[in-house]
Amino acid sequence: MSFWKKKKYCQYCGSELKSDGTCPNPDCIAYVAPKADTTAETSTTTQNGGT
């Protein structure tokens, strides 16, 4: 009987994976950079620029 779950590790660098399954190591080839939210900036400029 198991009382804990085995952690998942990156197959390339061995770092512990995040909860969404991505590698947190920026030097790893499997690293995915977080996306910046630019939609909020563009929507405010179009609303103010149109009036």
Cα–Cα distance, 3 to 19 (Å, whole number): 19
pTM check: above 0.85: no
Looking at residue 11, what is its pLDDT?
95
Each residue's pLDDT tens digit, 1-51: 678 889 999 999 999 999 999 999 999 999 988 887 655 555 555 555 555
Cα–Cα distance, 43 to 8 (Å, whole number): 39
Paired with 16 in beta bridges are 9
DSSP 8-state secondary structure symbol assigned to residue 26: T
